[in-house]
Amino acid sequence: MNKYIKTDIEQGLQYLKTGVMNALADIESGEENEISLDGPIALSFIVKCAVERGWKEDPDMDWDWTSGWEVDYWYYMITPNNKRVGIYGSLLESNDTKIEVRYDDE
């Protein structure tokens, strides 16, 4: 691969990581309770960033990967300050991933 292409991709991923980390920080701090990430961002990328911040997979998560029409996901994590956070999106229509705080009554 051309070294310039490789560098462009690495820099782009670093910018994306910075944006995702900032979004997760806003959720943790309470500045935001819901954030929509426009653009195709892989769930694994978001989870990797969350784990770096100390988030853990919710042990009570009930896996659900399909709505019947396409492959959707509902993934739950617990922040270091014990907020339960849902990450929602679609593997096929991945242009609108949501990260939102979940409350006990939801």
Each residue of 23-80: pLDDT tens digit?
999 999 999 999 999 888 989 999 999 999 999 999 988 765 655 666 788 899 999 9
Q: Which residues contact 101 (CB under 8 A, 6 or more apart)?
A: 27, 33, 34, 83, 84, 85
Q: What sign for the dihedral angle of Cα 28, 104, 90, 34?
A: negative
Q: Determine the structural domain holding residue 68 and report its residue range.
A: 3-102
**Amino acid identity at 98:** K
Q: Give the global pTM.
A: 0.86
The model's pLDDT over 1-30, given as tens digits with 9 standing for 90+, comes to 788 999 999 999 999 999 999 999 999 999
Distance CA 13, CA 41 (A): 10
Domains in the chain, number:
1
